[in-house]
Every structure is written in C-alpha cells, then in structure tokens.
Amino acid sequence: MLSKNIEDTLNKQIKIEAESSQIYLSMACWAEIQGLEGVAQFMYNQSDEERSHMLKLVKYVNERGGHALVTDLKAPKTKFGTFKEMFEELYQHELFVSNSINELVHTTLNEKDYATHNFLQWYVSEQIEEEAQAKTILDKINLIGEDRGGLYLFDRDIQQLSVTSSIAINSK
C-alpha cells in the first residue's frame, strides 16, 4: 500500500512523463515541417516511449492501492529556433526528469518504501540512457556545425541512433 505522500509524488511523475511525451511530439511536428524526416521519426518514437513510461507508473500506482490521476498538461513549445536549440532544450528537459526521478527515489528511502524504491530503479537506469543519448546527439550536432551536408547525413543517421550507456553495459 502506498502512503499518500508517495502516491502524490508518483502522480506528479506521471504528469511529468505525460508532458515529456507531449514535448517530444511537439518537437516531432516542428522537425517534420522543417523537412527533417529522420529527426521527426526519432521524436515520434521518443514521444511513444515517454508515454509508455507514464503508463508503467499509472499501472504501478493503481496496483499498489493508489489512484493514478490523469491531469491537465502544460502545453509544450511549438517552435524551436534551430534543430540544435531544440536538442539543447531536450537535453535540459532530460536533466529535469532525472532530477525529478532522483527526488522521488529519495522520498521512497525516507519513507522506507522499498518496493517503490525497487520499482523506480528502472527509471533511474532509463534516465542515464536518456541523458547519454541526448548528450551524444548534441555532440554530433556540434561536430556538424553549419554544414548543410552534415545536417542531411545526421537527419538520415539519427533514425539508427543507439546509445549504450555504462548502466546498460554493466547490466549485461
């Protein structure tokens, strides 16, 4: 059974994951109208992934005797100056999500809710991967600079991007 405090903080995280899905969806739409089909597809996939993260939390809250809440969401930005600025915002957002997960984990330890603490370890690992992926993309964008040919290749290559973080290597 979840404490009221844990239930509330999990519901806050559900909203963050839902908003993350919306942010990626908005980025996908922007990239698509810029002619960046590869970036758009990457963002659509990320949006779906964030929604699955949200649903995993929803199911957990309900299974543990809580009530997962579906609330209104903050509308995401719809325009991004450049694709580099968009990916910089994405990276900052992933850092925000990581911090939120870490605070949630801290709360579970303070309340000695080891079941939820254990459940959240998947999110901790996932955020390490999300941050590593965003950082790798930014590094590639910085390598490209203003080269339009490089942007074309990047747009094609991002569809196959796969980042293996240290956490994934250690868990094999």
Whether 172 shows a pLDDT value over 50: the answer reads no
Q: What's the pLDDT at 151?
A: 84
Rounded to whole angstroms, the Cα distance separating 172 from 169 reads 6
What residues contact residue 2 under an 8 Å CB cut-off, 6+ apart?
Answer: 10, 61, 64, 65, 66, 113, 116
Tokens matching residue 74 = 């903050």
pLDDT confidence bin for 159, thresholds 50/70/90? confident
Query: Structurally, how many domains does the chain consist of?
Result: 1
Whether 164 shows a pLDDT value over 60: the answer reads no
**CATH code for position 101:** 1.20.1260.10
Whether 168 shows a pLDDT value over 60: the answer reads no
Annotated binding site: 17, 50, 53, 94, 127
Q: pLDDT of 126-154, one tens digit each? A: 999 999 999 999 998 998 887 778 888 88
Whether 166 shows a pLDDT value over 80: the answer reads no
Q: Which of 49, 36, 33, 11 is nearest to 87 (CA)?
A: 36
Per-residue exposure over 4-33, b if at least 16 CB sit within 10 Å of its own CB, e if not? eebbebbbebbbbbbbbbbbbbbbbbbbee
pTM: 0.89
Q: What is the mean pLDDT of residues 87-108?
A: 97
Annotated binding site for Fe cation: 17, 50, 53, 94, 127
Within 13 Å, how many C-alpha atoms sit on residue 118's CB side? 3
Q: pLDDT of 16-61, one tens digit each? A: 999 999 999 999 999 999 999 999 999 999 999 999 999 999 999 9
The helices-and-strands tally (H runs, E runs) of the chain is 6, 0
Range of the domain at 122: 4-72+80-170
Q: What's the pLDDT at 156?
A: 83
How much is the mean pLDDT over the chain? 91
